[in-house]
A and B are shown apart, each in its own frame.
Chain A
Amino acid sequence: MRLSRGALPGWAEVLLLPLINIALAFLVVGIIVRIIGVDPFHALNRLILGAIGSSESVGYTLYYATNFIFTGLAVAIAFHGGLFNIGGEGQAYVGGLGCGLAILAFDKYLPGWLMVPLAIGAAALFGAAWAAVPAWLQAWRGSHIVITTIMFNFVASALMVYLLVNVLIAPGSMTPQSRGFGPTGQLPALPGSPLNLSTFLAIACCAAVWLFLWHTRWGYALRAMGHNPEAARYAGTDLRRMTMLGMCLSGALAGFVGVNELMGVHHRIVLDFPAGYGFAGIAVALMGRNHPLGVALAALLFGALQQGGAELAFDEPAITREMVVVIQGLVILFSGALEQLPRPWLALLLVRRG
């Protein structure tokens, strides 16, 4: 528990250190862009323009950010309980399955005002269930959640391919995807834009997670467990049940990616819709310091990068959309694993000796 070399003033700890870490990540990105032979400042300019230059691009940015909010919150809420959920990808996938199944089953019978909440609930339920298995295995059988959630990503992927190829495939279709959702199973969206009502769900989730973590006794107990399991046990918290609760909430949040993607955009169950959002959630959570507001801001940034990156790739043939993935990786590296890198220098600068 002792502070490692060089304690810093509070504001440096909360603001400066994370900012320096992100700056380092973007510095490396700049170098890579340079190596590819593109002027980094030109690229940045293009990227910003592509992300917020028109109302259409803002719509895309917000739509991407919605996914990042869901997975970022999922990682953050688990982190608060000391649990590292790398299974967001699989939970999003299965959450989408839940939402899709609910719609395929009921879209012909239920009105929209009933169908939509039901489908959202199903997404949460399925995502939570997919997270509950690794949680149960850790709490009761002692297998580590990091490994089991990774494994469950692959199992989810195999399961979805099987279901889409063999079971849910629309009759007569050649591509493995389900039949289209009826109108009651579709979320209202802006015309010509993928931006849909899920964005409000994401904002509500931010508020709910904040409320849960800092203003309910369960959130209190979850954070106590994350910071100091022994103290939590002293306080009478059942650590096993709290592990289940933390992971289920995390899985449910990840499951909402399915709502945005399937109910909001594709209007059917398709393959591979989580497309790395689950992993990117780790970057979002780390960058947002696990706080819902931070997560929302980080998600906006990543959403802008995703959209701007796509535009940039269109303009600059030398750059592909995967540049965004590189940035995600570097952000995780610098604000996660190498978090302590600038500390000694910063301490030297800020803390007077003596």
Chain B
Amino acid sequence: MTAPPAIELSAIDKSFGGVHAVRGVSLRVESGTITGIIGENGAGKSTLMSILFGLYHADAGEIRVEGVPLRIESPRDAIAHGIGMVHQHFMLIESFTVLENLVLGVEGGFLLSHGMARARAEVERLGREYGLSVDLDARVADLSVGEQQRVEILKVLLRGARILILDEPSAVLTPQETDRLFLVLATLRERGVTVVLITHKLREIMAVTDRVFVMRRGEVVAERRTADTGPQELAELMVGRKVRLQVDKAPAHPGPVMLRAGHLRLIDGRGVPLLDDLDLEVRAGEIVAIAGVSGNGQTELLQVLAGVRAPTSGSVTICGRRFDADDPGDPAGRRAIGLAHVPEDRLRQGLVAPFQAAETSILGYQDEPRFSPRYLLDRPAIGAHCRDLMERFDVRPRMPGLRSSQFSGGNQQKLVLAREMAHQPKVLLVGQPTRGVDIGAIEFIHRELVKARDRGCAVLVVSVELDEVLSLADRVLVMFAGRIVGEVEPARADERRLGLMMAGATA
């Protein structure tokens, strides 16, 4: 008789509003193994595991843990049943010591002294057993990211977890720290702990897992023994054979370089490089797209190029005007010389939710004489401008007086795009042009971007949608870990090679 599988999910289904995030997923995770779940952004892997951990409730389906059917209402239930999760964003209190973080919630009595001493002995034992050494009296803020992750793992083990879920554990780690994590995971498996690893990195799947599930668009599309598969096959499964969106466009006629980034480097507060010696060029009359899994520095790249954030070092040259790290200027200055920027997150950056559509339609351009001739805003002119944009970009409803937040996502995006393209920019930065936008609007937006290109605008698109990147761009740059790791010509793009590059396999 064999032991029952550690986890058995059958026909799990979950929707958020109109988005069907997980579609009838069934999978088995054998006890004492390391199982990988791989997929692109939005494939549903994190949602699936959050259901298992009690953060979300499945709309349908059954969960069995070690053969027993369970209803998991909250993380607390999950923990009680021996399931622990290490999130991508750590839940650690930075001003606390490691030990204080570990005992929070399992203090063992009103007085700390007793419980802390017991926990210390227990954690030291666990640390020895699994090779997870951390200084228990250090403040978490002083630890490296890798050490903080070890604290998270210890936290889960201290609560008696037999099943450990890790969500993109290496996203914030250096390669060395990642190797060390793999060693720990192997030790955990040796001691009978079941590990589920959510990732989009092929290297990790190949390095540590026993089995792998590939998810795409909310479904499990394949299950393989890691030993029987390879990165090529997995990359192909992950990306899928997609129907190319057709964008009618003539061949590009690139002109002079309008946008250049030279040796861009951006280091965050923790010393982690977000942009790492990045170089790129975009010429007039071409669309360059940056492909990559989100979180590899694309957001930061756009911010630095647009002047919202200053780089640590390096320079950005726009229409021949050079901005250095020590004199980064501001977004308004860059707009004035012909840059336009459709931000990735329109709700957080691109518009002000309670503003009227007319007000949103001049965000960033409010100082222009035609909107603000002398002292007062020219309201009628702004209204007319907005109505004109709405007409040209088919924004519905055509009501400049409506609050921006009352438009649908697609219409908000069209309004922001219309605003940025209306000024005939020489350089156009576009982040996630079609995120949360319906199919009709997607085609429209793509056509408009091509039109801008044909007018001689240098367009840089950042998107996590591979389809979009391949159908829209004249050149595709692949970004991984803060640098450009390769360039692909979309017409002859090999999706498999692209998948490998995005997963860092050729870096």
Contacts and interface: CB of A to CB of B under 8 A. Distances in A.
Given A215-B376, A215-B377, A234-B308, A220 B366 contact: yes
Contact of A234 (B341, B355, B366, B375): B341
Contacts of A235: 331-332, 363-364, 366
A207 B411 CA distance: 34
Given A235-B366, A238-B330, A220 B351 contact: no
Contacts of B330: 236, 238
Q: Considering residues B306, B335, B349, which has the most beta carbons from chain A within 10 angstroms of its beta carbon?
A: B349
Contact of B364 (A214, A215, A236): A236
B372 interface: yes
A227 B352 contact: yes
A217 B366 contact: yes
Interface residues of B, number: 30
A224 B355 contact: yes
A146 to B, nearest CB: 22
A234 B349 contact: yes
A233 interface: yes
Nearest to A219: B377
B25 interface: no
B350 interface: yes
Given A235-B332, A235-B364, A217 B377 contact: yes
B367 interface: yes
B363 A216 contact: no
B206 interface: no
Contact of A231 (B335, B362, B363, B367): B363
Interface residue SS majority, chain B = loop
A143 interface: no
Interface residues of A, number: 21
Contacts of A216: 372, 375-377
Contacts of B349: 230-231, 234
A234 B331 contact: yes
Nearest to A232: B352
B376 A231 contact: no
Interface string A186-218: 000000000000000000000000010011110
A69 interface: no
B482 to A, nearest CB: 22
A228 B352 contact: yes
Nearest to B347: A1
B108 interface: no
Contacts of A232: 352
B359 interface: yes
Interface in B326-364: 330-333, 335, 341, 343, 347-355, 359, 362-364
Given A216-B377, A217-B367, A224-B363, A236 B331 contact: yes
A217 B330 CA distance: 17
A235 to B, nearest CB: 4
A65 interface: no
A10 to B, nearest CB: 9
A139 to B, nearest CB: 15
Q: Which 6 A-B pairs have the closest CB atoms?
A: A236-B332, A235-B364, A236-B331, A217-B372, A234-B349, A217-B366
Given A217-B366, A230-B348, A235-B331, 8 more contacts: A215-B379, A220-B362, A228-B348, A231-B348, A231-B363, A234-B350, A235-B364, A235-B366
5 contacts: A216-B376, A230-B349, A231-B349, A233-B308, A234-B341
